[in-house]
Every structure is written in C-alpha cells, then in structure tokens.
Chains A and B, each alone.
Chain A
C-alpha cells in the first residue's frame, strides 16, 4: 500500500515536472579517431561524382573539397544528411545505408583532408587590380574577413569554411542560394548576405576567388591524378 502510494506520488511528481519544465536540448559530443585508409575506401563512393581529386568544377556544379577544413566538411555532410542543407542528389549518398555512420564519415573527411588542392581553380571574371576587384576587396574586408580570414583561410575550430582555392561560380551560386533562401546558413552569415545585393556578393566572391593558395597545399600540377584511384 505504501509502495503503491509512493509510486503514485512519483508518477504525479513526474507529470508535474514534465508539465512545468520545457524540454531542454541535449548535446552529446562524440569523439572519433579517423581511419584514413578506411576513409580512402569510402571515398570511392564520393569520387564517382566529386572525382578522385575532389577538385570541383569550373561551372560551380561541384565545389573544391580538397584542402577544406575537416570540421567544415563534416558539418556539410551532417547538414545534408539531416536535410538542413538541401541536396536531392547528394542526400542518398550521405545516409547510413550508403556511406555508413559517424565513424565512416570521420574517416572519409580525414581522407579528403590529405588530398592536395587544385592548382588551377577557376577565378571570377574581374581580374586582380580591376575596379570591381578593389570594390570586392572592400566588401570582403568589411563583411567577410572577420570569420573567413584576411586570406580566406577559414577556421577549422570555429567551422568557418576555407575560401582559398574555391571556384568562383560555386561561391557565387551558394551566396545566391543563401540570399534566395534555398540554402540555410549560420545566422551571422545570413544577416551579412541579406544586407548585400547579389552583385556585391558576386564581386566579393570574385575577390575571394583570387586568394593565393599556399604552395604546400597545392598539387604539383593540374594534370596530377590521385594515385589511390588509378
């Protein structure tokens, strides 16, 4: 009897608690030691479209992934996986059934980070030193460099994407997508983009596309092919 009463009291208490308190977000941090060799195998799935060098495409249909910060790559994979970043075509690729779990994602991201970057990525239409380039520099330094860095180096710890070596058309398209609401972004990024016109975004992207990539990060030539995938 006493036990039953206690049980009832406990039940009421739980009810009261659940009614009174809003459900709080639970954050779980998980750590994985990436296995680069396994990542190479998994990258065999990605490379079908992104190609073994992960250098991206001039017309902006694929970004340069080589050289990107691991945390940035991981965030994109998870965002696409849960639908936060919309991509019909990539969605099935990043699901558990295709690519695997967090460990496999960590492996593949670590593998991509070992790839040398495209030494001839595509730059925007306005050459270095032109009026548009200088305007782009002003916009970039005022609105973008705070997070993405003076030379577009980004920040792995803070998950700020590296812009060095990224194709102009890719950046231009993504900025447009964020402005049009097709792609969601960090609120700070969202705010900056809403305050700028599409043309201003383009000339800022043009400026960023001209950043020099440190020589050590680049492949020896544009005809280099990833020997892991003959």
Chain B
C-alpha cells in the first residue's frame, strides 16, 4: 500500500523533482551535501528525488554491497604497504573488528624492489600479489573500488560501489606528484610530462614504461632526477641510476646518464653510492648536485637548471610529492603545509578532534621516511592503537623502523642497506632520527638479504 502511494507520488511530482535533480547535477555539490539533502527529504517524498538523480549519484546514495558488519567496522582507504599491514594486524589485535580494505587497483604490484625488476634481477611474479589472497589469509574483506568522498559527521565513506558506514577509518592513500614544485602548473603540460617521462613512484604502469625505455634506449643522454623535500623512497632515485647504468653497460650501448639532484648532496648512503658511481659506472653516470629544475622544454627536450641547460634523448622525471588529495576530499588536509598533510596526533595518528579517523603510510604528517618498511612497521603499531582505543585503552608509543636496501650492481645482485629509528625531540617539537645503522659496503650478502627482505614482507602481508 505504502509502496504504491510512493510510486504514484513520484510520477505526479516528476517535473518538480526534475528541477531539483538538475540543480544537483549542474553544480559540483559536495557529496556530503547530496547525501544530506537526500536524508532531509526522507519521509516526505524521498524516492522521487532519488529516482531522478543522475544514475551515478543515485549509486552514491546506496549502501555498498558487503557482508553485514559483525563487529565494529574499520574501513581502510588504500591497499598499499600501510593498508595491507593495517588490515592484517587489526584482525590480530582485535578479531572482532570487521575490517574492509579498499583499493582502486585490482592487484598489488610492489614498488619496493621494482628497480631490481628493471634490471632483470627478479620477474614480475615476484612483485605481483593478489588482494584476494591477502584478505582470505587474514580474514578481512577487500573491495576493489574507487573512493569518491567522505562524510565524517555520519561516518560514511563514498565509493564507486556505494557508501560504507564505518566506526573507524584509516586513510592510507599514499602520495601524488606535485609538478607545480618544478614550475609545471598547466594541466596539459603536466600530462605531457607525465606521459613522456613518468616518474615511476605512483602508478605501476609508470615502471612498465620505464623498463621498456631502459631496454630499448638507443644511446645518447638519459636524464634522471632526484626531487627535493620528503619524496617517496629516499634512496630509490640513486639506486635507479645504478640499475639504469648496469642495464646500459650490459647492453653495451653508448649512453650517458645525467643524475640531476635537486639536493645539495646525495641524501642517503652517500659513501656507498659515490663508490658505485666512481668505480662501477664512471663511464655512464654523471652526478650533478644542487640541480634545481627551473624549466623543462618538452619539445626541445631540454631541462634548465639555474646553472645550465641539459639536452636529453630520454628521461625519467620524478617531481616532488605531496599527500594524496583524498585528504583534501575528507576535509582534513592542511593546505598551508608543503605536502598538504592532515593535522594529526603525532603519536596516535588520529585526526585532531576525531579519534575515529587515522592517517598512516606515505600520506602521514610525521616526517618519517616514506617507503614500504616504514609503513609496514608503523601500521603494526597503529593497528594496536586502534584496537586499544576500541577498548578504551592506550598503548606505549613505538618508533617506526626504516629499513632500506639499495641495489648497486647486478649479475650477481649486490646491495647495501640502512636501518634507522626515530625519536621525538621535545625541544624542537619534531621527530628526528634516533639510531641509524649503515651497511654501505655493498656485496652479494646484501643482495641476497634484499631479496629475502622483500619476500618476507610479501609473506607477511599476503600469505601465512
């Protein structure tokens, strides 16, 4: 009876409702507002406005299909190293949690260790893993979906599959490139730069393109750069220069690598990299510190720094990075910070004023080194923080750990490593390095250890 009335109503009021829908679709209303408008109309003549909203928006107002939550639901946005580890350890610390991991990628391809794949030291299977395996092994739900927005008031995350209600939400969406910090502001120029010279640190298609470039390069000048600021994976651009040189050396092509470092000096494992540049690759790598990129001319294939212009035949341009714009969508990004990070509690990781929303991984606001191992050790701790919060408890702060291998030579693989911890300097109110242990003597033991490290990490996140 009621249904019948509703149907009648919706037909009768079609025109009026159409006007509302037009207003909704014509302007870029925040998702929360759309949802709130719909909720407000509830009871009066809801279904009419719902029925006439554009299909894509109607979908947002529908709950995503998931098994009913059996306990407090924790939704994790982003299935990288932080999100995957978080999902597993949340279930370990509180098996009653209903954990849902969201990622827009259908499968996982590891960025850590991908430089080894460029130089054919491992195959793609080594880096590729299934979210299904991870979710099944560790007893949580994985949803292959794109996150569109949030409403922290009603604790909802909107996805392309519909909305999901959460009790806790962990944002681990990672980073985005910030081309504006190398003077490229125009979206068309950014896209051209990205398509022609991808950086290889955000999307796995980038590393596939880079591998093809390195293995088909005919010779000449190949430019690689090191960005400034807290970019992802401090050692990786230097490691990549070594791997690129090793590939060119093996292919016996006449190639010159210009490594333009926007920093004044090698940022990490300086001695080890210097030794590699001067002993293994002196014919290939020219290291140019303090090379702030001032201009890139894609048509002329020229990069200008304050000192010089460099002509190139091919390049990999790694721009500075910022936190994912999903933090902006959630209304928690502090746009005054260089990396547009959220204002979070430095010890407990929650958004200030909201102990149900956490930010971890490379989009965190703490200045920890961005990379897989840091995210992995940090997520284990934050999972415990959230489990404790659900019980009204608190736990002792633990420093994340940064372990970082760098491959230097191939066939056989030789690598060096560093391990470091952090502490809070109460005077400066900043985190700083605590103990740092360098093992810069690259050798085959380091190479074997780097492979075992990556395998162990994948085991922990995906398998038993």
Contact = CB atoms under 8 A, between A and B. Distances in A.
A59 B401 CA distance: 11
A98 B451 contact: yes
A44 B445 contact: yes
Contacts of B453: 48-49, 89, 92-93
Interface string B439-464: 10101011011111101110110011
A48 B420 CA distance: 11
Given A42-B445, A48-B417, A48-B439, A92 B459 contact: yes
B12 interface: no
A48 B459 contact: no
A9 interface: no
B359 to A, nearest CB: 22
B399 interface: yes
B455 A59 contact: no
Contact of A59 (B399, B448, B450, B464): B399
A90 B403 CA distance: 14
B459 A91 contact: yes
B456 A89 contact: yes
18 contacts: A42-B445, A44-B445, A45-B445, A48-B419, A48-B449, A48-B453, A49-B403, A52-B437, A52-B439, A59-B398, A88-B464, A91-B456, A93-B449, A93-B453, A98-B448, A99-B448, A229-B439, A229-B441
B405 interface: yes
A45 B449 contact: yes
Interface in A32-67: 41-42, 44-45, 47-49, 51-52, 59, 61
A230 interface: yes
Nearest to A83: B464
Interface residues of B, number: 27
A229 B417 CA distance: 12
Contacts of B464: 86, 88
Contacts of A61: 377, 401
B460 A89 contact: yes
Given A61-B401, A88-B456, A92-B456, A45 B448 contact: yes
B456 A48 contact: no
Contacts of A45: 445-446, 448-449, 452
Given A48-B449, A93-B456, A88 B463 contact: yes
Ranked nearest first, the 8 interchain pairs of A and B with the lowest CB-CB distance are A44-B445, A88-B460, A89-B456, A92-B455, A92-B452, A88-B459, A93-B452, A48-B449
Taking residues whose C-beta sits less than 8 angstroms from the other chain, chain A's interface range is 20 to 34
Nearest to B450: A48
Given A89-B457, A92-B455, A48 B401 contact: no
A44 B443 contact: yes
B126 to A, nearest CB: 11
Nearest to B421: A57
A44 B456 contact: no
A41 to B, nearest CB: 7
A51 B457 contact: no
A66 B453 CA distance: 22
Interface of A: 41-42, 44-45, 47-49, 51-52, 59, 61, 86, 88-93, 95, 98-99, 229-230
A115 B416 CA distance: 22
A93 B446 CA distance: 11
B461 to A, nearest CB: 8
Contacts of B463: 88
Contacts of A229: 439, 441
A47 B452 CA distance: 13
A219 to B, nearest CB: 15
Contacts of A98: 448-449, 451-452
Contacts of A92: 451-453, 455-456, 459
Contacts of A41: 445
B449 A51 contact: no
A16 to B, nearest CB: 40
Contacts of A52: 437, 439
Output the residue of B448, B453, B457 with the most chain A CB within 10 A: B448
Contacts of B401: 61
Contact of A48 (B377, B446, B460): B446
A91 B456 CA distance: 7
Contacts of B439: 44, 47-48, 52, 229
B403 A89 contact: no
A222 to B, nearest CB: 11
B459 A89 contact: yes
Nearest to B377: A61
A208 to B, nearest CB: 20
Given A45-B452, A92-B456, 9 more contacts: A42-B445, A45-B445, A51-B419, A61-B377, A93-B452, A95-B452, A98-B451, A98-B452, A99-B448
A23 B166 CA distance: 55
A27 B455 CA distance: 32
A51 B437 contact: yes
A99 B444 CA distance: 11
A91 B457 CA distance: 10
Nearest to A86: B464
Nearest to A41: B445
Nearest to A89: B456
Contacts of B460: 88-89
Nearest to A93: B452
Contacts of B443: 44
A61 B403 CA distance: 13
A90 B460 CA distance: 10
A229 B399 CA distance: 25
Contacts of A95: 452
Contacts of A88: 456, 459-460, 463-464
